[in-house]
Amino acid sequence: MKQDPSKSRPIIQVQGFAAAYGGRTVLKDLTFDINQGEVFIIGGGSGCGKSTVLKHIIGLYDPAAGRILVDGQDITAAQGEDRLGILRKFGVAYQSGALFGNMTVLENVRLPLEEYTAFSDAQMDIIALTKLRQVSLEQAAGKLPSELSGGMQKRAAIARAMSLDPQIVFLDEPSAGLDPITSADLDELILDLNRSLNMTFVVVTHELPSIFRIADRVLVLDAARKTMVALDAPDTLRDSSPDAWVRQFFNRQATGEATSASNETATAKSAGGKI
Partner 1 sequence: MLTIAGRLDSGSFLQAWEQSVEPCRRNVPRKLLVDVSAMDYCDGAGLGLLSELRRIVASSHGKFELAGVREEHRRLLAMSELTDPDAALRRPAREGIILTLGRFAAEVMGDIRQIITFIGELLATLVWMARHPRRLRLGDMLATAEKAGANATGVVCLLGFLVGLILAFQTAGPLAVYGVQPMIPTIVSIAVVREMGPLITAIILAGRSGSAFAAEIGTMKVTEELNALKTLGLEPVQFLVVPRVLAALIVTPVLTAFNILMSIIGAYIVMAALGYSLSFYINQVMGAVGLGDFISGIFKGLIFGLIVAGIGCLRGMQTRSGPGAVGDSTTRAVVSGIVLTIVADAVLGVLFYYLHI
CB of 106 to partner 1, least distance (A): 7
Distance separating alpha carbons of residues 189 and 169, to the nearest angstrom? 12
Q: By CB under 8 A, name the binding residues for partner 1.
A: 100-102, 106, 117-119, 122-123, 125-134, 138-139, 141-142, 144-146, 162-165, 188-189, 192-193, 195-197
Minimum Å gap between C-beta 170 and partner 1 is: 17
Q: Is 4 exposed, middle or buried (0-12, 13-18, 19+ CB in 10 A)?
A: exposed
Q: Which of 203, 60, 119 is nearest to 111 (CA)?
A: 119
Of the pair 194, 241, the CB lying nearest partner 1 is at 194
Which residues are bridge partners to 24 per DSSP?
Answer: 21
Comparing CB distances to partner 1, the nearer of 101 and 272 is 101
Phi-psi region of 92 (alpha: psi -120 to 50; beta: other; left: phi over 0): beta
Q: Closest Cα to residue 170, out of 75, 250, 103, 246?
A: 75
- Specify the residue, 118 or 224, whose C-beta has the smaller distance to partner 1: 118
Minimum CB separation of residue 136 from partner 1 in Å reads: 8
The enclosing H or E element of 228 equals: strand 227-232
State in angstroms the smallest separation of the CB of 265 from partner 1: 36
Comparing CB distances to partner 1, the nearer of 1 and 20 is 1
